[in-house]
Amino acid sequence: MDKDATLIKKLKNVTLKDTAFSELLDTYQERLYWHIRKIVSTHENADDVLQNTFIRIYKNIQQFKSKSSLHTWMYRIAYNESLRFLENNNKKRYDDIDTISESHLEVLFEDEYFDGDEIQKKLTNIITRFTEKQQRVFQMKYFDDLSFRKISEILEVSESTLKSTYYTTVKIIEEKIFL
């Protein structure tokens, strides 16, 4: 039995759940944090969303059917929590997408945890101009190094669509990064 299968078994056992959940946190917390951080931009927001993600995982682990990997299932929850967070925040504060993008960039570049150089800032600026779908696909493939199959499971989009989206964004980035 592989490590995730053993962990899932423990998580579904009432007497072992808390210990197993601690192991789950140790294994996946950092990866999920960075996945979320790329979507919500700031450290504080990522921490909030990460906490909500693990609460949802803890509450719903009994419903996990192993149709995908544990990692993919948790990424999907983190992705949905991130979108929920953005939707709630954007409803409160913004009217149009340009205002949202500019505000997110401002917040990101002012964040004490952002340590990017000028190229990183330029790349981030280009990425924020993409549609939400383009951003997520690019970030999951390029930064998280997920396979198109895993991204397909997380976003519930065909692999061919993802490949087309990814390679289109890469071409745009290559054109704009060297301007």
Each residue's pLDDT tens digit in the chain (179 positions)? 588 889 999 999 999 999 999 999 999 999 999 989 988 878 899 999 999 999 999 999 999 988 888 999 999 999 999 999 988 887 544 444 444 445 454 554 455 554 555 667 777 788 888 888 888 898 888 888 889 999 998 888 999 999 999 999 999 888 887 66
Q: Is the pTM of this model over 0.85?
A: no
106: tokens are 């401002």
131: tokens are 């549609």
What's the pLDDT at 144? Answer: 84
CA–CA separation, 81 and 149 (whole Å) = 21
User: In this structure, are residues 41 and 20 in contact, taking their beta carbons and an 8 Å threshold?
Assistant: no
